[in-house]
Amino acid sequence: MVRVTALPAPTTPDPKDAPSLRWGILAPGGIAAAFASALLAGTGQRIVACGSRSIDRAREFASQFGSFTAYGSYDELVADPTVDVVYVASPHSAHRDHALLALRAGKPVLVEKAFTRNACEAREVIEEARSRNLFCMEAMWSRFLPRYDVVRQAAADGLLGELDSIVADHGQLLYPAGPQRLAEPALAGGALLDLGVYPISLAAMLLPGELDVHATGSLTPTGVDRAETVTLRSGGALATCVSTMSARTANTAVIAGTSGRLELPGWFYQRGPVRLVGTDDVVLDTYAPESTEHGLHFEAAEVARRVSAGETQSPLMPWAETIRVLEVMDEVRAQLGVRYPGEDGPSTP
């Protein structure tokens, strides 16, 4: 039997070929600005409106990205008949309410990750989408990148042999001098929902079935998680997911099997290369993207394709997977002792 030593080519469609939808941006903050920039640079999508609690902020955002309609309330935004789909970019603590607001106005939604604070809230949003036959998706943008497509194919094709381990870290120096919301329990702050979701989602993408979860970490004086190490086990395979908001780590990922490994250097969850390395440490092949700019436009194009086809989910980030990842993070918080205001427990119905 001849061993395959070449990485598969990505099969990700060109985002510019996706049908054009008219987008409404809910909560024009930093991630919304990155999303808008990516849409305008890499797709044929159109932004037609934005909504904020501050009309001045909405107008500033609109003038920055194309002078579209600005609203001083979220209700006005979701009621706009020219809006085909709503992108929810508010803090985690508001995702549930804002997603429900859009769905109840008859709008498909793309909701920033983490999708909601916990799995219970996610089930509520998803059930609303299901009952209205509307598209709804978590904006875990890494899963739509060509880089992740190469990883998925390589693992599925057996290039690594039997999967043995995944190691991924995501650390940024954001605390205590960064955004204040990260220290606020009321805003679902902490490292996990902002940073830890990336390595956990990568591991969940490759590890099937129910995941055994073990977590250790440390909390801030306000009671949110500052850093954690999460170990996930599926059968004989293990994943180690490290996240911290008080140090800049290498932000790399390695996926290893009995026949070789995949290395994702740099910021593993962004656009970038994939290296296939043999058990003798020889680099067998490298996928190198033509560009490492942007990346959020791939998820937007996926939304446009699915909505235009009348579908309610994406197979790359289906509802069950969003809930599965949140169940892992609920268990991590339970083991660390992190509770957000209004929760009896992270997963309490």
Strand partners, 225: 219
Say if CB 266 and CB 194 are below 8 A apart: no
Can you tell me whether residue 169 is helix, strand or coil? strand
Q: Looking at 100-104, 126-130, 176-180, which range is the least confident one?
A: 176-180
Cα gap 4→344, rounded to integer Å: 51
Which residues have CB under 8 Å from 141's CB, separation 6+?
A: 113, 295, 296, 298, 299
Phi, psi of 259 (to 5 degrees): -110, -5
Would the pLDDT of 327 be above 60? yes
**Active-site choice (113, 143, 147, 275):** 113
What average pLDDT score do residues 196-224 get?
97
Residue 26 is classified by DSSP as E
Check residue 344 and give its pLDDT: 62
Residue 260: half-sphere exposure toward Cβ, Cα within 13 Å: 24
Say if CB 12 and CB 146 are below 8 A apart: yes
What average pLDDT score do residues 209-216 get?
97
Phi, psi of 310 (to 5 degrees): 80, 20
pLDDT in tens, 251-287: 999 999 999 999 999 999 999 999 999 999 999 999 9
Would the pLDDT of 346 be above 70? no
Give the confidence band of 175 by pLDDT, cuts at 50, 70, 90.
Answer: very high
Alpha helices in 157-295 (DSSP H): 191, 197-206
Cα gap 129→137, rounded to integer Å: 10
Q: What are the tokens at 97? A: 């309410």
Say if CB 207 and CB 240 are below 8 A apart: no
Check residue 4 and give its pLDDT: 59
Would the pLDDT of 3 be above 80? no
Check residue 5 and give its pLDDT: 81
Would the pLDDT of 293 be above 90? no
Q: Look up 113 and say whether it is catalytic.
A: yes
Would the pLDDT of 61 be above 70? yes
Can you tell me whether residue 228 is helix, strand or coil? strand
Q: Indicate the helix (H) or strand (E) that contains 109.
A: strand 109-112
Residue 38: half-sphere exposure toward Cβ, Cα within 13 Å: 21
pTM check: above 0.75? yes
Q: What are the tokens at 163? A: 């999967």
Mean pLDDT of the chain: 96
Residue 18 is classified by DSSP as S
Cα gap 248→250, rounded to integer Å: 7
Percent of the chain having pLDDT more than 70?
97
Check residue 67 and give its pLDDT: 87
Nearest in space to 141 (alpha carbons), one of 304, 323, 301? 301
| Amino acid identity for residue 50 in this structure | C
Give the confidence band of 292 by pLDDT, cuts at 50, 70, 90.
Answer: confident
Can you tell me whether residue 59 is helix, strand or coil? helix
